[in-house]
């Protein structure tokens, strides 16, 4: 890869804005190996050198991995002529090349990964990879044991094939008294969960994605906010994105 400037390295790993990075370096909070570095012009080799910020080892990646808690009313697209997009929520982020890993319906909330890592997106959304997508589903009416069984076995939703086998279990009712289930699917067909529940005689009134593969929605992220994934989360996704 060759050498790059320290300030460029820190920008690539999303430590902060350019102004913040200059301050961090000037304050002596960054070191290469055991040596504190106070000049952003200092060069290093990302493949050979170890960089620390506040004594925490940094993992270098030029690719971006962003967790968004998608709010309702926003479309999972990079561009839309009518509605606000998830890309538009990424304030102060260079969005060129970023794409959502799969889509959530406009009125669906919860976990959405945005990245410029194309192979990872394919690994996460391809039905053949059988990656778990876990949802909290609030329903119009109670779901019978038979309906739960049908959801788990796969149902006809108007496509050429039935949905893949899923996993479903009841959760406590919400504060409005609506029945709630947890549903884990391995596909991402258009309006799939709504169509699955319609197929068993029910209706979705609220839908939220809680996880995708090993990646769990950060409970500290309010709807509409985001953060970069940690090195541990990125590694887990790449290693455990398929079964």
CB 78, CB 85: distance < 8 Å = yes
Please state the length of the chain.
Answer: 243
Alpha helices of the chain — where are they, by DSSP H? 6-12, 18-26, 118-125, 145-153, 192-199, 231-240
Segments forming the whole domain that contains residue 16: 4-57
45 and 156 assigned to the same domain = no
Q: Choosing from 49, 105, 132, 218, which is the catalytic residue? A: 105
Q: In this predicted model, what pLDDT tens digit does every residue of 40-87 receive, in sequence order? A: 999 999 889 999 999 988 878 778 899 999 999 999 988 887 889 999
140 and 205 assigned to the same domain = yes
- Any catalytic annotation for residue 105? yes
Is 164's pLDDT higher than 50? Answer: yes
Tell me the CATH number at 188: 3.30.70.1560
Q: What angle do CA 203, 154, 200 make, to 5 degrees?
A: 25
Structure tokens at 124: 């996460």
State how many domains the chain has: 3
Q: What is the mean pLDDT of residues 214-229?
A: 94
Q: Where are the beta strands (DSSP E) in 140-232?
A: 167-171, 180-185, 204-212, 215-216, 226-228
Distance from C-alpha of 99 to C-alpha of 124, rounded to nearest angstrom: 13
């Amino acid at each position: 890869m060759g050498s790059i400037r320290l300030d460029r390295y820190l920008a690539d790993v999303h430590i902060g804005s350019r102004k913040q990075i200059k301050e961090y370096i000037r304050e002596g909070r960054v070191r290469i190996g055991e040596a504190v570095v106070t000049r952003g012009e200092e060069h290093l080799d990302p493949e050979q050198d170890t960089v620390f910020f506040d004594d925490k080892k940094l993992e270098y990646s030029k690719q971006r991995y962003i967790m968004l808690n998608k709010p309702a009313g926003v479309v999972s697209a990079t561009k839309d002529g009518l509605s606000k997009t998830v890309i538009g929520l990424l304030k102060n982020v260079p969005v060129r090349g970023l794409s959502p890993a799969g889509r959530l319906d406009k009125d669906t909330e919860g976990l959405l990964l945005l990245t410029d890592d194309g192979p990872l997106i394919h690994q996460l959304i391809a039905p053949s990879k059988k990656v778990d997508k876990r949802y909290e589903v609030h329903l119009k009416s109670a779901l019978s044991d038979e309906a739960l069984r049908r959801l788990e076995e796969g149902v006809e939703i108007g496509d050429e094939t039935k949905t893949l086998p899923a996993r479903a279990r009841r959760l406590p009712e919400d504060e409005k008294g609506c029945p709630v289930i947890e549903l884990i699917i391995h596909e991402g067909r258009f309006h799939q969960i709504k169509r699955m529940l319609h197929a068993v005689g029910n209706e979705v009134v609220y839908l939220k994605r809680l996880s995708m593969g090993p990646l769990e929605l950060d409970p500290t992220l309010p709807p509409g906010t985001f953060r970069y994934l940690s090195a541990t989360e990125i590694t887990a996704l790449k290693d455990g994105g398929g079964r």
